[in-house]
A and B are shown apart, each in its own frame.
Chain A
Amino acid sequence: MANAILADAADLVAPKPRGGWVDVVVTFSRRRPLGAIGAVIVVIMIAVALTARLIAPYDPLAIDFGAMLAAPSAAHWLGTDAFGRDVLSRIIYGSETALIVGFTAAFVGASAGVVLGVGSAYFGGKIDLVVQRIMDIFISFPLIILALAMVAILGNNLPNLITAITIPMIPRCALVIRSSALSVREMPYVDAARAAGFSHIRIILRHMLPNVMAPYLIMLTAFLGQAILLEASLSFLGLGVQEPTPAWGLMLSGAAVEFAERAPWMAIFPGIAISLAVFAFNLFGDSLRDALDPKLRSL
């Protein structure tokens, strides 16, 4: 946590006009305007998802055959779909689905990856070799193909969909974390902790984990976008979220393509929602990476 120490040292020297985290936010947005834009979009999206019930103009499931395929108008800002459901309301409610899937899958995937990566690096030797080979095997599967197979095994309800998206992420995170954990393991303080007779668990949790937080956070934000994309792809194929649940990928499939010429808004707006969400997470994640660990690349 060299950053924290540096920040503390800076605090001692500089006059301190504001509270700690406000300072951090201000400095971050001044140095990395792109990242700040991304963060703002993410915050707006979370707010929209949380208040979906209040701000959505219509019930996302309400079928209205009188307004089938209606063009965008004052009544329906983004038009309606083949069942007369309001596209804007469905997008607003869809953000809930996307964020739940995104956050859960990214958090669980990155956390499991961190445990595997740090454990593998800490114990080294045979354990490391075996864990690495197993990770190699799972990385050799394309993301979408592994997710497809998992969905086929588990069946598709929301928790299973999240599991299917999480599993392919674990080895990718473990690989990156392992390489930073390897250098942490060589640090004198880890030797010292071992000499002091601390248990393996304690050394891993108290001494190694805090020092791989930077790559962990970076992987987490990268996975957020990927999880949302993967969910959209699976739902588009009909293997993810099922009708009538509002989900962005699902809104693009079926009728959206069929009626593309008559009702292009059905295909355009949900896609913009997906792209904007992933774009914001990536923008923020990129700047976070630059701020925390400029040497780390990939993904």
Chain B
Amino acid sequence: MWRFILKRFLLMIPTLLGVALVIFLLLRVIPGDVVEAKYMSGEGHGLSAQVIAEERAKLGLDKPVWHQFGIWVWGLLHLDLGVSMWTGSPITEEIELRFALSLQVALMATVFATILAIPLGVISALKQDTWVDYAVRVFSIAGLAMPSFWLGILMILCFLIFFHWVPPMIYTPFWVDPWQNMVQLIWPALAVGYRYSAVATRMTRSSMLEVLREDYIRTAHAKGLWLKLILVRHALKNAMLPVITVIGLEFAFLLGGLVVTEQVFNLNGLGLLFVQAIARRDYTLTQALVLLVASAFIFVNFVMDVMYAWIDPRIRFR
């Protein structure tokens, strides 16, 4: 088992390095750089070539690309994300506040999605091809179909028209005023949570259907076991793994993938920061954000693989 974990752990390194390399190169291919974005647009158009060259040198943009990459990775190895090219302040500082917000929304959406998805998926699988199943499936396909940002717009619209109220637009940290904080963040969490729960419901359903056809379930029925016990102890337990996987992966993506919904609710989270960072050609900040989200995703994948191997020994020796 330990050998498997170690092997799987080491496999994360080339993937992470690959992500770092891809985003690094992608950013360099985007036309323009941070100096141009800062000084060449609008007012400061008349800056001399010399000043621009100096600015670039200050940010290390004049060095060869592989050299820049080396510096960045060397910093990463020391857990140093560097400073934002646009604001000049440390990236950890830039990310900190927004991370708290995005993490909270992602966590709330996860809780909501899980509470909704697992019962719905199980019922749908048990009542396969009845109207209950159809209703659940239509409900979850609708969740996949509705863009969460539109759901957000609809929510705001309803509040406006029926209650003449809008959710607060200014972020209050949870520890300052929990009520104010929840009143603001619960809506985006619900808006993305619906789609999220749809993904999880569908996985629960198909995974349950597969398990319910297994021999050991029939055996349990045959020996006259109480239905609830069969479901909880035998079926659900074995069907949960793929469900936990999609929940974990969606969670990792939610951290940085809230881009559009944040816009609707005027939240200053990681998604908005990401759009800004790309528009400003802030290489260091964009790299850090992508790496953050990608490592969350890769790590969730790793944990899931280890869990699979732990439960099913055949995987370990493959």
Contact = CB atoms under 8 A, between A and B. Distances in A.
Is this pair of chains taken from one and the same complex? Answer: yes
Interface of A: 34, 133-134, 136-138, 140-145, 148-149, 152-153, 155, 225, 229, 232-233, 236-237, 249, 252, 256-257, 260-261, 264, 267-268, 271, 274-279, 282-283, 286, 295, 297-298
A145 B153 contact: no
B72 to A, nearest CB: 17
Given A142-B256, A236-B260, A286-B137, A153 B30 contact: yes
Interface residues of B, number: 50
28 contacts: A34-B134, A34-B138, A133-B14, A133-B15, A136-B18, A140-B19, A141-B19, A145-B257, A149-B23, A152-B30, A153-B26, A229-B145, A236-B147, A237-B263, A260-B153, A260-B160, A261-B157, A261-B161, A267-B153, A267-B157, A271-B147, A274-B146, A274-B147, A278-B145, A279-B144, A282-B144, A286-B141, A297-B242
Nearest to B12: A136
A271 B278 contact: no
B73 to A, nearest CB: 15
A136 B16 CA distance: 10
A145 B274 contact: yes
Nearest to B26: A149
B206 interface: yes
Given A145-B290, A282-B145, A136 B15 contact: yes
A225 B144 contact: yes
Given A233-B260, A237-B263, A137 B15 contact: yes
B259 interface: yes
B18 A152 contact: no
B197 interface: no
Given A145-B259, A148-B278, A152-B30, A267 B154 contact: yes
B125 interface: no
Interface in B16-73: 18-19, 22-23, 26-27, 29-31
B137 A34 contact: yes
B207 interface: yes
A137 B157 contact: no
Contact of B150 (A34, A152, A252, A261): A252
Nearest to B21: A137
Given A142-B293, A267-B157, A275 B150 contact: yes
B203 A297 contact: yes
Interface of B: 14-15, 18-19, 22-23, 26-27, 29-31, 134, 137-138, 141-142, 144-147, 149-150, 153-154, 156-157, 160-161, 202-203, 206-207, 210, 242, 253, 256-257, 259-260, 263-264, 274-275, 278-279, 290, 293-294, 297-298
CB-CB nearest 7 A-B residue pairs:
A279-B145, A137-B18, A278-B145, A271-B150, A142-B257, A140-B294, A297-B206
B144 A138 contact: no
A149 B157 contact: no
Contacts of B161: 261, 264
B290 A141 contact: yes
Contact of A134 (B18, B23, B206, B259): B18
A176 B224 CA distance: 39
Given A140-B297, A148-B278, A297-B207, A237 B259 contact: yes
A137 to B, nearest CB: 4
A142 B298 CA distance: 12
A268 B154 contact: yes
A104 B22 CA distance: 25
